[in-house]
A and B are shown apart, each in its own frame.
Chain A
Amino acid sequence: MSKMHVKLNLNGREVEDLAEPRTLLIHFLRENLNVTGPHIGCETSHCGACTVDMNGKSVKSCTIFVAQSNGADVTTVEGLANPDGSPGVLQEMFREHHGLQCGFCTPGMITRAHRFLQECPNPTEEEVRFGMAGNLCRCTGYQNIVKAVMAAADQINSQKEAVT
């Protein structure tokens, strides 16, 4: 099958490669660009392990053709560290509150939480549970993930207050 030229703005950098148009975004990220943070858990959009941020929305990159993402702004978990390379707030809060065990869902979970906290900056626990329901975890029972997201919201909000 003939290949197309794909460009992305990935984690703030312009990247490009050739790929068959039918290539799924998750495979393009993982195989072509060696960005292996997002994982593959189901390939049917149910589990959310492949969640990335595309043009300001959470998407499951296992059900996006690379042709659909050409030219898009894409953020993966690798792009959520602080500018100095230290772990970002969400990454730190997931560790602090034991919000992960095997770590397989974690990149998708954190990437979803990143977008969710922009959609809903002061969430209740119920809103976190609903807002994160597109991402499955088999290890944690979500209790500490919810805690981590709530704690991250607090931190982000207090940093904002400190600035203003």
Chain B
Amino acid sequence: MLLARKMHLHYGPIALASLLIISGGVWQYSLGTKDSPATGSSPAGLVVGSIAAGIILFELLLWPRKRLRKHKLGRTKFWVAYHLWLGLACGPLAFIHSGFRFGGTFTTILMALLGLVLTSGVFGWVMQVFIPRWMLGNLPQETIPSQIDDVSLLSALENRQMLTVALGTKPPNTGKLVALEDQLSALKSGLSVSSMKYADATPGLDKSNAIVVGARQRRDPQRASFGQDLADDLNAADRIEIWKQYTLVIEPFLLKNIVPNSTRSTSRSPIGNLQRTQEWFKNLQASCSDSAYPILIALQSTVEERLQFDAQRMAHAWLHRWIAFHAGISVMLGVLLIVHIIQSLRYM
């Protein structure tokens, strides 16, 4: 989002400066002749190469700058703007510095690394421009990525509680609920939640440590209340069918990647995507009485939320995983750049 909000006001001068630097490099290179070509060791090549090296080292400063952000070393948006535009200028400058040749093995590796750095950087730039916009419009249930599993687990627990209140205890012939003791222990140990309030609905919960967590805390009493109202209207067949579908289909989907051996892959699940989910719940509603409608709507909402979490997890990966590659080869480029400088001065 940072890159999409009138950042051209900040980028304009920097982009212009980058263009000026590149133009200067081209001009310097054009001064070279066949007799005295503007290679890396020529005065023009040296000037252009020094600028390119300076830019690369400046780009790498983003790492220590993040470590030292408490010292307030400039605003992030300016750092990003300089990082992007000067980084883009670095490629042409390095190519000019090399005299439009890749040279030997080492210099070719350097150029290849620079190309990868630039490519991954531009890729990340594009990702960071478009994916947040897409998420804003398509993932209203977006949450903090690291909390996706915890929130999904909470959703499963809330659903159990709601169904228990609305439908009564799960009938014995409707499948087996997944044991969540380990996951709850993990939550309690500090991953996301220190304790739960649903001890009465979930075996193994320590009731004394339960606290109110998230929006469900406010919503669940409502669910419990409408569940209580519905309890008398639902017939036994509805109860059995909803519990059965919840146990076999919905909860495994909500707990996928959270509970071992209960994961149902998205591709095989009948609620693996939004279209299938809506179709599946429509069929379920048709097989149940109208009294079950509010409960099914609540369950569908939970599943759709989980589907958005999956999409968010994927978007998050596209949004951030490239940084690891970008940072890794950038650091390698920086190290080899220093070697290049030393060796060039040695054998200039």
A pairs with B: no
Residues of A that sit less than 8 Å from B by CB: none
Residues of B that sit less than 8 Å from A by CB: none
